[in-house]
A and B are shown apart, each in its own frame.
Chain A
């Protein structure tokens, strides 16, 4: 399972057509109790975020941080080439927002342990819900 879409090397005009995006790592963390959520630089609760629809910010349970390896093509990946980039790990600023809403560059989702889908499928489903991947091709 992977997603295919163009990849623009950030801050350059170079676009890799039909790049191969594959989930390379999912970092799962358990939050034991509900958190107060993100705070502003003044130490106050950030009320600009929709806390009711984004349990990833505060709700107890399992949060998953996704890292995506971007290869030039499937052949490049299958032939042991290196990824062009790893999204979600480095300070790479893309013009388009690939992150979970409000999470800057982080791609995170709240995992429902009762979901019948496995964690990898949940990760891809979450990616496809982001603006960045909504038109990507499942490959």
Chain B
């Protein structure tokens, strides 16, 4: 399973058509208790549950290849969409400057894993990604 959509490499002006977006890893963490909320009620109401609520949390790391053939032939990704640079550590070296990774993606890479779902964590992760505007209109392949 993967998602195909155009991809802009960093702030370079290079747009790659129909790039192959594939989840490389889902880091999981169990938050046992709710975090203490900020004192400001204004911030309280705006903070998404994923930042504070107890639950089983998945953090998605996405690699972007020029196309499926590159991935199948062992070529390197042209980019990574990750929360932290270390999530893509050493996997892109030799292809592209890591400063061009999207380490502050325009969307949340963390989601609540549903432990009672019959879907695997990976399927849940893709289903979550497909709810994000960035991936709207992407082709599932």
Contacts and interface: CB of A to CB of B under 8 A. Distances in A.
Q: In terms of DSSP, what is the predominant structure of the interface of chain A?
A: loop
Contact of A11 (B67, B95, B99, B100): B95
A68 to B, nearest CB: 13
B55 interface: no
B95 A76 contact: no
Interface residues of B, number: 23
Interface stretch (B5-13, B27-35, B38-46): B5-13
Interface in A39-92: 71-73, 75-76, 79, 81-86, 90-92
B13 A79 contact: yes
Contact of A9 (B67, B78, B93): B78
B65 interface: yes
A32 interface: no
Contacts of A86: 97
A9 B66 CA distance: 10
Contact of A72 (B13, B67, B99): B13
Interface in A88-105: 90-93
A18 to B, nearest CB: 12
A91 B13 CA distance: 23
Interface in A13-32: 13-14, 16
Nearest to B96: A9
B14 interface: yes
A82 B100 contact: yes
Interface string B55-70: 0000000000111011
Interface of A: 9-14, 16, 71-73, 75-76, 79, 81-86, 90-93
Interface of B: 9-14, 16, 65-67, 69-70, 75-78, 93-97, 99-100
